[in-house]
Amino acid sequence: MSLPYPRELSLLVNGEWRGTAGRESVAVSNPATDEVIGRLPVASEQDIDDAIAAADRAFRGWSAKTAWERAAVLQRAAALVEERRERLAAILTLENGKPLTDSHGELDRVIEGIVYCAEECKRAYGRVLPPRAHLLTQSSVRRPVGPVAAFAPWNFPAFLAARKVAAALAAGCTVVLKPAEETPAICIELARVFVDAGVPDGALNVLFGMPARISQKLIASSVIRKISFTGSVPVGKLLATQAGQYLKPATMELGGHAPVLVFDDVDVEKAARACVGFKFRNAGQVCLSPSRFYVQDKLADAFIKMFTQFTESLKVGDGMEPGVQMGPLNNKRRLAAARQFVEQAHGCGARVQTGGTSPSRTGNFFLPTVLTDLNDDAAVLTEEPFCPVAPIMTFSNMEEGIAKANAVEFGLAAYAFTNRMERAAEFSERIDAGWVGINSFVPSLSDAPIGGVKDSGLGYEGGPEGLDAYQHLKFISQSNCQF
């Protein structure tokens, strides 16, 4: 079988591609077929040390380049992603499982994100203070914070890795990137794009292996000056604690459990169709995914009926097949979690309106599932599902709806559907979330800051705030008198 998957998976250290020869490796599987499609080298202690040293050496030269020089390299990288799009999209689908059309959509966001960082780095402005004395100049300037350790997950491996790398490089930082072992090839090929675009040796390094060993060593190194992580709340808390021990700034985009309030003044069919479309995107493996649906009493029966019908109409299958709308879960852990959520909820009295099982085929498939009649003890209401399971509950009024929506320790995203302006305004103000959608679902954008409250994170990625995260402010006071 001929696949566009790379023959050789490698680490990238100081411009050198280090393959599997002579070192430990792990298998990479296609989640739609369970077929092993590659083997990934595991970084040794020496590889980690070499990557840190390379990022340190490269920092002086890369940070000294002008913003326009760095922007030109990033613009070339964006052009190369577009040029290699077809192969990159196929690689992404083969190892992640998402439909090929969704992989192309993710690459659209990769390109947009790189271009945005290329442009925004030219606007890393400081400010000039009013002088306090004759011939005195006092100003603040933005400068790169230093070498960065970046950790990217498997659910949007191309976009989330590219966003970190592009922002760090644009700011003048160097990077040691640790992507997920489940989806390595797309990150390797993106690293190749940056190298081919002109990123110098050592400015971007890519490591795979034992996550705890790599993260501990990177964070403890005196070379690494900034941590950026996207992933689960437990791991994020652990890494933030480690970073805090060394007083290193950390950006943490962590898990979500986004509520959706559907008020009784909306078109039930339009609302249900929109909710189904976004809920089952990437098989529900999205931090911004709507994962708790609260429908006002008057609309509940009609909404559940429409939501279930639209869910049952989704085409589930191998992401490489035409017309597929939802692929498999990425790994066996998420498949087991989906089953456990449904079994536990059903054991507490919940009704399975549709789905709830795996289809009779090979791969990590789980049917899109709708649950109703849940009680407050259902784990799917308090733990991040990250799977294609949609619980639907009811609420009577704004007070009850907001209380239920805010009753978890997550605060990444939240959504509401209403045609009444006062309801929309009150929801936007009172909801505990950093990303709010009214009558729409919006994926993370390159020019908008995304960050969570409560357990959902620290700091921001995207927008000018995302670039600021890789810079520090330096105050300069200069007397122009002769001495």
CA–centroid distance for 277 within its chain = 19
Exactly one of 117, 173, 287, 387 is catalytic; which is it?
A: 287
The SS3 of residue 94 is helix
The two structure tokens encoding residue 475: 């105050």
Contacts of residue 345, Cβ cutoff 8 Å, sequence gap at least 6: 371, 374, 378, 379, 380, 391
Q: Which of 254, 246, 303, 307 is nearest to 277 (CA)?
A: 307
The SS3 of residue 26 is strand
The two structure tokens encoding residue 63: 């940070």
Per the DSSP assignment, residues forming a β-bridge with 370 are 354, 390
Per the DSSP assignment, residues forming a β-bridge with 206 are 12, 177
Which residue type occupies 382?
A: T
Exactly one of 95, 106, 181, 253 is catalytic; which is it?
A: 253
Element (H, E) at 80: helix 67-83
- Tell me whether residue 173 is one of the annotated catalytic residues: no
Element (H, E) at 306: helix 300-312
In angstroms, rounded to a whole number, what is the distance separating the alpha carbons of residues 395 and 400? 6
- Tell me whether residue 287 is one of the annotated catalytic residues: yes
Phi, psi of 419 (to 5 degrees): -105, 5
Residue with tokens 């403890």: 220
Contacts of residue 160, Cβ cutoff 8 Å, sequence gap at least 6: 152, 153, 230
> Catalytic residues, which ones?
253, 287
